[in-house]
Structure 1
């Protein structure tokens, strides 16, 4: 899977364990699905998963990992990945924007991305198969990027992996879950929250950093709308206008309360960090309106970018990081 700030890779066993402990739970809504790492793990455990995210790249990942089933798509996906891997590079929008105007990828790999993405766009695959191929392309590009894991900036010196050749792989497709087919949504959280499920898993944004800005290249790669860009990172112009109340300190509490109240699931499982806008106690108070709250705490090192330090746009170190570890809380409610 792609590198992702906020990924719950280390928390997966606790999340799946928390859901497994809920009696007769068979379906789970992942309301802020991101990479769909949680949804994939829940699908592997047999749950019918509904994964939702308002960003197009995240909805594509969910369509691949949650909605698409191995038995229907693996053969075609394997054949097409081999065909796409054989395409020669052809420079275009991706190369110009993120290899020449900025330096996220080596031009040789940008040219391959351009050729493969144009081929996918021309051929009009059904949505699930297209999602599998786009996920394969995202993950291949992620393996040869030159970042710390965020697309707000690229490294001053090329990352060693950036010199490798782009190579697509078939994503980890799972068979249909025991309790039913998965589904991928791209809706506002308040709309998706009304889906009828047994468990709702909530992992909302924690702070002012928008995932769209952090992963704008994937959004443009999936939409393939070739937008105008700005700044040294060549971000999509709509990074300036697309916003979420969860990324706003004044609006966060109201937005979180609204989602908690709208969810129709019997149980809630909520991930939240001590780097977020509210304290553990404040989150517990909000969730207590839905029932008894149990809290599991985990201590982790912060992501690698935080450990490197604080730099200005010229690449000069201008400050020290306040802390190198954070606590992740898992709230089980109901």
Structure 2
């Protein structure tokens, strides 16, 4: 039975919660998305104070928005440029959403141009096949990449504030996500055009709200940021940790589990830096495995046989300056359930452990070789662990 804990510092009014869940729903297709786990996440922490919350690996920022929506002051962090962009747009906004409509209308009105994105990611319809002019599979149809080229150039040309820029880029990424030609990631593209790829890319103002609390947005290495917090005496009521999992399948190619690889295109849209690209998917050069590797996705072990990914998680849990810590993890990740319990027990008292059968993302059903097809009798399970540090 769950222990009786202090009354939370935010309201648990069901209308407020429902509204926060709806606000957190908007976002891109994402392999690590917590969209379907938002309610269980709230359920796990509803009895503890959450006035200040750290979302250390914020990704699409859905969990950051959930807590901001129920009244918490949120610090959102992620190494990805696109995550920082989303967090800035949602958590730091100071105007009504309608104030940005003229900017979005202007971007939608631009004349398409044939630019860098079209040359590298735009394809033609050849009897239903999705191909670029060089014969490789394409990410978007040319009419949408030409619009992308025009919009992305205009965003750089306009004198936008950092907030306006983030909102424009968030709108652009969402619009592109609605017309892409993939199964949800950007390591490979479909051979034939998806029905949505024929649609006209149209930007919309994101579902923005005026922030009524002071929120913070960071783009830092997790351990570096935690060291900074500890040195400055910063402390949180709750820290939510959803680190990249990697895969527990040793035969899985590393490039198939790197989030920097999965979503390389969004970094390019944010930076508009025309990077060196490689491979059939035209990935960024800096998304190669040896460059973009995360310690939490690490598949190797040290000389003593200990998992490097588990050791990285252990360090972060130890360093996190919070009264309570909620860890989200999957049974498909590097660490086992027993190992996770041991790591958490070393840093505090385990209050709640929730195990949920979770419908597999379509990516989990994919196979690149016949050597590592996941056994059908092992369900996809999501874990939530709550500890008092």
Q: Normalized against structure 2, the TM-score is what?
A: 0.80
2:139 alignment partner, SS class:
coil
The residue number in structure 2 matching 1:228 is 276
Partners of 1:311 and 1:243 lie apart in 2 by 20
Alignment partner of 1:298 is 2:356: yes
Which aligned pairs between 1:143-154 and structure 2 lie closer than 5 A? Answer: 143-154=178-189
1:200 alignment partner, SS class:
strand
Alignment partner of 1:187 is 2:220: yes
Name structure 1 gaps, 5 residues minimum: none
Partners of 1:123 and 1:16 lie apart in 2 by 40
Which aligned pairs between 1:173-252 and structure 2 lie closer than 5 A? Answer: 173-177=208-212, 180-193=213-226, 194=229, 195-207=234-246, 208=254, 209-240=257-288, 241-249=291-299, 250=301, 251-252=308-309
1:172 alignment partner, SS class:
coil
Q: CA RMSD in A?
A: 1.7
| 8 A contact 1:140–1:167 mirrored in 2 | yes
Partners of 1:304 and 1:115 lie apart in 2 by 32
| 8 A contact 1:252–1:277 mirrored in 2 | yes
Q: 1:244 Cα shift? A: 1.3
The residue number in structure 1 matching 2:32 is 6
Q: 1:75 Cα shift? A: 3.6
Alignment partner of 1:142 is 2:181: no
Name structure 2 gaps, 5 residues minimum: 1-26, 123-131, 247-253, 302-307
The residue number in structure 1 matching 2:79 is 54
2:239 alignment partner, SS class:
strand
| 8 A contact 1:105–1:146 mirrored in 2 | yes
Aligned in 2, Cα 1:103/1:123: closer, same or farther, shift over 3 Å? same
Alignment partner of 1:35 is 2:68: no
2:385 alignment partner, SS class:
strand
2:326 alignment partner, SS class:
strand
The residue number in structure 2 matching 1:332 is 386
| 8 A contact 2:97–2:209 mirrored in 1 | no
Aligned in 2, Cα 1:146/1:139: closer, same or farther, shift over 3 Å? same
Alignment partner of 1:120 is 2:155: yes
Larger radius of gyration: 2
Q: Which has the higher contact order (CA 8 A, sep 6+)?
A: 1
Partners of 1:311 and 1:280 lie apart in 2 by 27
Aligned length: 324
1:301 alignment partner, SS class:
coil
Moved over 6 A (4+): none
Q: Normalized against structure 1, the TM-score is what?
A: 0.92
Q: 1:132 Cα shift? A: 0.8
Q: 1:318 Cα shift? A: 8.4
